[in-house]
Amino acid sequence: MTALKPLVLPFRGERYASPSLDRVLAPPYDVISPDARKGLAARDPHNIVHLILPEAAVTEEKYAHAARLLGEWRKAGVLAEDPGPSVYVVAQDYTLPSGEHRTRVGMLAAVSAEPYDTRRIKPHEKTHSGPKADRLALLKETKTGLESIFLLAPDSDRGLTKALLDITKAKSAAEGALDGVAHRLWVVTGKAGEQLAERASAGALYIADGHHRYETAVAYAKENPKADRVMAFIVSAHDPGLVVLPTHRVIYGAGRDVSHLIEQWKLWFDVTPSGNVTDVVGHLAKAGASHPACFVALPKDGYTMVLRSNAPLNDVPGLGTSPALRSLDVAVIEPLVVKQILGAGTSTPTLTYTPDAKAALDAVKNGHAAASVLLNPTKVSQVVAVADAGEVMPQKSTYFVPKVPSGLVLKP
């Protein structure tokens, strides 16, 4: 039996020559709107968005355009490779919607791009072919990892957490702000970098974000065996700055009468009228402390719904059988509540998502939406449990904040 290669290694990264990154960073490609792309592109001719979302008159030519541009930047000295293999520690200072300030610390390293069958990299969601084809075409032309994926390390002994925090006590090598988040970067070489990689390799790693990019890297590695590593931002599951926000559902559509569903919901949930609840988020957190729960906001009223212990979940289609999945709020609420509301009217509904509870409630209060379904955030431990069970979560189950920006480091 062939021994598996090390899961995490330092790599020789390529970075912007300037230590000031304010003008060149961009969010991940899949969260950039057309208008946002225009703004980022206008910010600086060397903003990373020119590479991760290239534009050309003919779609097929945009990937070649990105490769040419990358070559020009290298020749002009805009980008430069580091002298040797490194691990790149990144601290992200940000503010939660509640006003609380947090710092999340992780490390950029080279992770083995291997099939999920090895169970060393574990997913929690399904992917679609379109985004993977797009990213693979870009990777083939540029031969460079332009963006990272986001992984969670179990870090049971908290050793990785401590080691990363120790690095941040020194002066950073580069800094840059993006969308209200301040980023600081340290380059860790030699034995110190190797030790960080070893700590991150102590157990399986879990994909928090970037399933498409990881699977793209695996496909590319099959064609190019020497390119068997993908750049990943690895964060300890116990990092105090690691936060998952809820993803509330907002449903639009005229003529959507939900009142008749309330009696139906009582088969599965303990249903309580909202009464004089003012802090819906705090109220929902308490109500759902031990069971899946949600808050349904309607134009004239609202209801707190907590799953009953004896709810007949075996009758729910597509729910899955693992305890890990059945303990997940969104996995239960999606089929029993959200889909029922979507089908309750005569018009074609529209479903949107937001981590902002006030925005979700205001959409109904102002008469713009037919209903909003508020959820508690998915716990990191639940993400790990679902992945360990080999299950996948419903769409929009997790919203890790902040996003990992593009442009900190590139991986040729």
For residues 307-330, average pLDDT: 86
Phi, psi of 405 (to 5 degrees): -70, 160
What does the block give as tokens for 3? 């021994």
Distance CA 201, CA 381 (A): 19
For 247-376, the fitting CATH number among 1.10.4030, 2.30.30, 3.30.1760, 1.10.3110 is: 3.30.1760
Q: Given phi > 0 = left and psi -120 to 50 = alpha, else beta, which region is 302?
A: beta
- Helix pair angle (61-76, 129-142), 10° resolution: 40
- What is the DSSP annotation of 181-211? EEEEEEEEEHHHHHHHHHHHTSS-EEEEE-H
Tell me the pLDDT tens digit for each residue of 43-89: 999 999 999 999 986 766 999 999 999 999 999 999 999 999 999 99
Cis peptide before 131 (omega within 30 of 0): no
| Span 132-167, pLDDT tens digits | 899 999 999 999 999 999 999 999 999 999 999 999
Q: What is the pTM of this model?
A: 0.92
Domain boundaries in the chain?
8-243, 247-376
Residues with Cβ within 8 Å of 38's Cβ and at least 6 positions away in sequence, in order, are none
Distance CA 217, CA 212 (A): 9
The alpha carbon of residue 345 and the mean position of all alpha carbons in its chain are separated, in whole angstroms, by 32
- Return the number of other C-beta atoms located less than 10 Å from residue 65's C-beta: 17
Q: Which helix (H) or strand (E) holds 322?
A: none
CB-based contact 21:407 (threshold 8 Å): yes
Query: Residue 1: pLDDT above 50?
Result: no
Q: pLDDT tens-digit profile of 332-371?
A: 999 999 999 998 877 889 999 999 999 999 999 999 999 9
Q: Among 54-58, 236-240, 388-392, which range has the highest average pLDDT?
A: 236-240
Pair 303, 272: CB distance under 8 Å:
yes
User: Among all chains, which residue has been given the structure tokens 């907590």?
Assistant: 306
**Cα–Cα dist 394/3, whole Å:** 35
DSSP labels, 53-93: S---SSTTHHHHHHHHHHHHHHHHTSEEE-SS-EEEEEEEE
Which residue, among 395, 367, 394, has the nearest Cα to 256 in the 3D structure? 367
Task: Tell which residue, 330, 333, 291, 329, has the closest CA to residue 310.
Answer: 291
Percent of the chain exceeding pLDDT 70 equals: 98
Instruction: Convert the pLDDT of each residue in 195-237 to its tens digit.
Output: 999 999 999 999 999 999 999 999 999 999 999 999 999 999 9
